Structure 1
Amino acid sequence: MDLKSQAAPRDADLGYRALVVDDEKPLAEVVASYLEREHFEVTVSHSGVDALAVARQVDPDVVVLDLGLPGIDGLEVCRQLRTFSDAYVVMLTARDTEVDTIVGLSVGADDYVTKPFSPRELVARIRAMLRRPRSVSAPVTPGGGTADAELPPRMFGPLTIDVPSRQVFLDAELIPLTRTEFDILAALSSRPGVVWSRRQLIDTVWGEPWVGNDHLVDVHIGHLRRKLGDNPTEPRFVLTVRGVGYRMGSGQ
């Protein structure tokens, strides 16, 4: 374990905390150095077991996680990480295949980057994710502007979306969503009569610097529907508008 920055109490003057996990030590050090230049507090780990222990210790805001770790691989690390952390996760993969992408996102990763990659681009994408709302702010709508943080809960049949608290209830039962899943649902529900294209959702949820396959949206929509018990063939909450994108359903 290489602790480049010991955990410290949260303070408004401190930068974001990042955990970089890669068994390729030179690459991990390069990524760490770029993040440190952007005033991140960086911790580096080279194994999955070590990374999980460190994540519990330092409580990172973002985890840069290699898919191909020895022993416990990146998928299992991400799966376990999601049981106690809502940190943003960027998966690093040496293979740019749809299967890798789907599997990586299915365990809770927010984004992925294929090796080789530009460290500057990686940092830009991390910055874009960290600009996303975390507590009281609502997402930007396609027409511009932010939703009022004091708006009452949004109701769609048995589904309740409380944007200020970032909580979702189905039949009064709390539904645990990842940040990305919640942000997609918050965006769709902010203008329920509007069809959102995949590109609009990416620009709103991931941020405009994000570049990559729009299929990322479909994967997260699939996870969201499963958690909401939404039948993809006859959805009540997240509707597909063929050839265009998605919109919010009434829940009936």
Structure 2
Amino acid sequence: MGIEDTAGRVAVIIEDDADIRNLLEAVLTQAGFETIATGNGLDGINAVRAHNPIVTTLDVSMPGMDGFETAKRIRTFSTTYLVMLTARDDEIDTLMGLEAGADDYLTKPFRPRELRARIEAMLRRPRHPVTADAASAAESAATPAGTVAGASIADQGTLSDAEPTTPKASPAEPADGWFSHNGLRLSKMERIVQLGGVQLELTRTEFDLLAALLAAQRAVRSKNDLALLLRGDAHASAYPVNEADRRAVEVHMGNLRRKLGDSSAAPRWLETVRGVGYRLAAVDATAN
């Protein structure tokens, strides 16, 4: 679903800076959203609860309740797509935002068209009900556009020589629609993952990463490749993959391993190929 198809949908803005708040209202209104703007975490939580927005933008550095705590509270009752905005670009802040439940994370000053492209990428993906394990998803997508309020933004990183984008594997879909590996089963059509007959609750990003690795089997998928996969076809190559994109993939893979109960030292399902990316672990003949 393109962002132009979201007319009539609600977006909540949680931002204490009036200038940025007004800018976000203008950008999201132009994109077809009805906007509800708030200036602090508590009012933002109440707005999300009252209006059930499809998208919520959230400032990290707010007085009183900060964005991390606000995100955690929102995630207890809402599946709204959370985009965190911050003036800080430290890696730890990015990881804290993702772990608090953010779907994406942008550093100020951001590009309006970049924000719109990231939201468009998220809206193309189905949402799941809130679960106790609800976590982040950083589906990054962007378009090279102008900067916010005349401010410049540093050029994003490019594909590193150490992590080339691997060719996408295109195996035939299983006849019954279920991918299986060492007792793990996944249905793309039903968006269900089962392990030992028990259904797992995965985030959108975790599901898509696992589906990509199951489809590729033992072929390696690089971090760059997986980051582009999460953007979706419309914006896969519109903006270079940067280190934050690769770190986001690592965080999601770590969360996925935790939910599977997998070990990075002796993997049963997800194997790290150092310096490149990930692939399925070797087949256990006794598991399937």
Instruction: State TM-score, norm by structure 2.
Output: 0.72
Q: Per-residue deviation at 1:197? A: 0.9
Q: Deviations over 1:78-101 (max 9, x none)?
A: 222223333322211111111111
Aligned to 2:17: 24
Distance 1:190 1:57 in 2: 40
For residues 29-48 of structure 1, the aligned pairs below 5 Å read 29-48=22-41
**Pair 1:243–1:27, CA change in 2 (3 A):** same
- In the alignment, which of 273, 277, 283 is matched to residue 241 of structure 1? 273
1:122 to partner: Cα distance: 1.3
Distance 1:174 1:91 in 2: 30
Asked whether the equivalents of residues 142 and 204 of structure 1 are also in contact (C-alpha less than 8 Å), the reply is no
User: For 1:65-88, what per-residue CA distance to the aligned partner results, in whole angstroms no more than 9, with x for missing partners?
Assistant: 111122222112222222333332
Amino acid in structure 1 at the alignment position of 2:96: V
Cα separation, 2, equivalents of 1:146 and 1:164 = 16
**Among 84, 91, 94, which residue is 2:87 paired with?**
94
Higher mean alpha-carbon deviation, 70-79 vs 150-159, is at 150-159
Give the drift of 1:201: 0.8
One-letter amino acid of the counterpart of residue 24, structure 1: D
Q: Is the 8 A contact 2:6 2:33 kept in 1?
A: no
Paired AA for residue 122 in structure 1 = L
- Hey, what does 1:7 align to over in structure 2? none
Mapped pair 1:228 → 2:264: no
Conserved in 2, the CA contact under 8 Å of 1:108 and 1:178? no
Q: Which residue of the other structure, out of 44, 48, 51, is the alignment partner of 1:55?
A: 48
* Residue range with higher mean Cα deviation, 218-227 or 56-65: 56-65
Contact 1:28 1:44 in 2 (8 A): yes
1:168 aligns with 2:164: no
Partner of 1:111: 104
Residue 16 (structure 1) shift: 4.3
| Compared CA separation, residues 32 and 220, structure 1 to 2 (3 A) | same
- Contact 1:156/1:250 (CA < 8 Å) preserved in 2? no
Segments of structure 2 that go 5 or more residues without pairing to the other structure are 129-165
For residue 215 of structure 1, what is the aligned residue in structure 2? 247
Secondary structure at the residue paired with 1:112?
strand
Residue 180 (structure 1) shift: 1.6
AA paired with 1:156? Answer: H
Contact 1:132 1:206 survives alignment (8 Å): no
What is the distance in 1 between the residues matched to 2:32 and 2:94? 29
- Residues 216/23 of structure 1: CA separation in 2 closer, same or farther (3 Å cut): same
Kept in 2: contact 1:63–1:89 (CA 8 A)? yes
Given that 1:238 and 1:247 are in contact with CA atoms closer than 8 Å, whether structure 2 keeps it comes out as yes
> 2:114 matched to which residue of 1?
121
CA distance in 1, matches of 2:65, 2:44: 10
User: Alignment partner for residue 75 of structure 1, among 56, 59, 68?
Assistant: 68
Structure 1 stretches lacking a partner, 5+ long: 1-11, 136-140
Q: Cα–Cα, structure 1 residues 148 and 155, in superposed 2: closer, same or farther, change >3 Å?
A: closer
TM normalised by structure 1 equals 0.81
Q: Is the 8 A contact 2:6 2:32 kept in 1?
A: no
RMSD over aligned CA atoms reads 2.8
Q: Deviations over 1:142-165 (max 9, x none)?
A: 648898799522222232222223
Q: Which residue of 2 aligns with 1:188?
A: 213
Shift of 1:62: 2.2
CA-CA distance at 1:19 after TM superposition: 2.0
Offset of residue 116 of structure 1: 1.5
Q: Distance in 1 between matches of 2:175 and 2:53?
A: 28
Quick check: 2:169–2:219 contact (8 Å CA) kept in 1?
A: no
How far did residue 27 of structure 1 move? 0.6
Specify the code of the residue in structure 2 equivalent to 1:117. F
Q: Which has the larger radius of gyration?
A: 2
Deviations 1:146-200 (A, max 9, x none): 9879952222223222222322222233322222222211222222232111111
Distance 2:213 2:109 in 1: 34
Q: How far is 1:133 from its partner?
A: 5.2
